[in-house]
Structure 1
Amino acid sequence: MDRCLTILYRGPLSSCNYGCDYCPFAKHHETAAELALDRQQLERFVDWVTTRTDQRCDIFFTPWGEALTRRWYREAMVRLSWQPHVRRVAVQTNLSADLQWLEKSERERIGLWCTYHPGEVTHAKFLDQCAQLQQLSIRFSVGVVGLREHAAEIAALRAALDRSIYVWINAYKREANYYRPEEIEQFVAIDPLFRINNTRHASLGQSCRTGETVIAVDGAGDVRRCHFVPTIIGNIYEPDFEACLQPRTCPNATCGCHIGYVHLPHLALDEVFREGILERIPAPREA
């Protein structure tokens, strides 16, 4: 069986049940036709994955909106989790959807990247959802966008969760030098990897696994090396699509998002996260 291929799937879904003011998809509602297209394209993608039994793969759903409120995404994750050649199925989610569907999945292969949104959900309700994931033995990480006004909520979240659960903080990068030194230290005490996320890593000309063992796929099947390089390099539904999987260097000056820079070999973050790289769970430190 070939080496593992990581696929970041992002279909046309762009609706969300939350209204965060920094997000362009907040409270966006799609038409019935738009949702039907998203479902059709997702089901085609899942069918394609299930037929490629000679290719080990990891699947990571990175929707613009909230996917798990849509039944077809839950069904897709369950179906993919039972495929012998699929190692991991992960998704980014606000954790607002009912979680009982996970009981039908192969739970050892499911991973959730959960984002807490203060102001959109109560602290207690979000923690209850996390407790359900633990009861179901689902691997998950929890994180928050590191807005200054949410610092107390972030600290309370870290204090409330079991220490075995990784709490990450996504740095707010829309304002240069947004954080004061003491605020950086406060967040590092919660997320030891915060400084890495708070950096736009120089990437121009650097080797990157995207385009070779990591690809981004849209609803039409078009392949890009990652979400941050718009050039289409192939299409998964073409019979010779594997020809596009080649070593490449990064064409962008910097890379500032976890799902991008984590694939830069010179940062060695694959050794930090290992099997938890999709759901953003660092590997346990060796004694």
Structure 2
Amino acid sequence: MRISAMTSSPAPWEWEFDWHLTNRCNFFCEYCHPQIRYVLNKKDLNEPSPELVVRRFNETGRTCLVHMSGGEPFLFPGFVELCAGLTERHHISINTNLASDDVAAFVRSVDPGRTVKIVAALHVPERERLGLDLSSFAANYHLLRERGFDVDALYVLYPPLLSRLAGDLDLLHELGVEHIRAKVFKGVYEGRRYPEAYTEDERKMILANSGDYVFNKPYLDGMLSFRGRPCTAGMSSFKVTVTGEVRRCASVPTSYGNFYDGTFAPADKPEPCPAKRILVMSQCMAYVIGSESVKAGA
């Protein structure tokens, strides 16, 4: 079986979908991707019903892994119902800021055995701006882990945060948040493009705090293109936009129809990657034919 972006073991699903399911968000992080940040809570907020989405995934005839991000997934209308429906036949993973009152309902309704990973992003400056202390994050983190969900805390290494990383990690450890992965920032800060612009000392600090996130090193080593290499993206892995359009991946906008209206149709053979610069290392290293296989996380 092929290697998944979520596991180096044979995966119990056949297709993977990376789904940007909503632009709704209760945070406004400075380092959010600009193309996402400036449409949050403003555009494409007429999301489909949970029933429609579950039906569309069932209609594929495949067992799927549905990775959900945004925006903030917990703000998708009927999110707990959506996850409960999907996990009857499929598997899910979630990127969330874990600042939702619905976490308790989620753990009561959703099968942890079909929830591959929950990556809980900390966004410490935004929490401070909104008056949300880390103890509330820790409470939700522990609730999920106690119910059997695989949860990692995520700390984005935005350059202005590097000086406070050690102190924030100490506080999190005091709160019992032990599974933490620090992740490179990808973008431009003060006219410098990252991750290329990290200094040597910063790179050492990043690698020392990466936890089980194995893709920081390839990013730092400059492995930012697989152009010309054949890839199974578009055949068995897909990017779904907030409007339901199905694309090859986050880096390549080739369209395969619309998932919501039932016109989605996958490619029938691998095609060479045309991207000059990749956006999601874990997916590329799983789907590019002949690339190194390493265990991933979302």
Q: TM-score range by the shorter chain?
A: 0.7 to 0.9
Partner of 2:19: 9
CA distance in 2, matches of 1:94, 1:115: 5
Q: Distance in 1 between matches of 2:290 and 2:282?
A: 15
| CA distance, structure 2, for counterparts of residue 20 and residue 191 of structure 1 | 21
**SS of residue matched to 1:230:** coil
Q: CA deviation at 1:227?
A: 1.9
- Alignment-derived partner of residue 149 in structure 1: 160
Q: Does the C-alpha gap of structure 1 residues 147 and 222 become closer, same or farther in structure 2, counting only changes over 3 Å? A: closer
Query: Do 2:153 and 2:181's aligned partners in 1 also have CA atoms closer than 8 Å?
Result: yes
Q: CA deviation at 1:136?
A: 1.8
For the 8 Å contact 2:207–2:217, the answer to whether it is kept is yes
Three-state SS of the structure 1 residue aligned to 2:48 is: helix
Amino acid aligned to 2:93: A
TM-score by length of 1: 0.79
Q: Is the 8 A contact 2:235 2:268 kept in 1?
A: yes
Whole-Å Cα distance in 2 between the matches of residues 140 and 252 of structure 1?
Answer: 31
Provide the aligned length of Structure 1 versus Structure 2. Answer: 262
Q: What is the CA–CA distance in structure 2 between the aligned matches of 1:20 and 1:163, rounded to whole Å? A: 22
Instruction: Give the conservation status (yes or no) of the 8 Å contact 1:216–1:227.
Output: yes
Shift in CA distance, 181/108, structure 1 to aligned 2, threshold 3 Å: same
Runs of 5+ consecutive residues of structure 1 not aligned to the other structure: 281-287
Q: Which has the higher contact order (CA 8 A, sep 6+)?
A: 2
The reply to whether residue 106 of structure 1 matches residue 111 of structure 2 is yes
Q: In 2, distance between residues paired with 1:197 and 1:143?
A: 16
Would the aligned equivalents of 2:155 and 2:183 in 1 still touch at CA under 8 Å? yes
1:152 and 1:45 mapped to 2: Cα distance? Answer: 43
Match of 2:232 in 1: 209
1:196 corresponds to 2:218: yes
Instruction: Give 2:65's match in structure 1, choosing from 58, 68, 72.
Output: 58
Which amino acid in structure 1 is aligned with residue 57 of structure 2? V
Which residue is equivalent to 1:73?
A: 79
How many Å separate the matches in 1 of 2:164 and 2:26?
A: 21
Shift of 1:117: 0.4
Would you say the 8 A contact 1:115–1:142 is kept in 2? Answer: yes
Unaligned runs of 5+ in 2: 1-11, 128-132
Cα gap change, 1:125/1:72 in structure 2, threshold over 3 Å: closer, same or farther? same
Which residue of the partner structure matches residue 119 of structure 1?
Answer: 125
Aligned-partner Cα distance in 2 for 1:261–1:123: 33
The answer to whether structure 1 residue 233 and structure 2 residue 235 are counterparts is: no
Post-superposition offset of 1:146:
0.7
Distance in 2, matches of 1:137 and 1:259, equals 24
Shift in Å at residue 152 of structure 1?
A: 4.8
RMSD of equivalent CA atoms = 2.9
Give the TM-score normalised by structure 2: 0.76
Number of the residue aligned with 1:133: 144
1:125 shift after superposition: 2.6
Identity %: 17
Which residue of 96, 100, 103 maps to 1:97? 100
Contact 1:167 1:191 in 2 (8 A): yes
In 1: Cα distance, 2:74 partner to 2:67 partner: 13
SS of match in other structure, 1:184: helix
Distance (whole Å) between structure 2 residues aligned to residue 71 and residue 267 of structure 1: 38
Distance 1:127 1:47 in 2: 34
| Cα distance between partner residues in 2 of 1:268 and 1:138 | 28
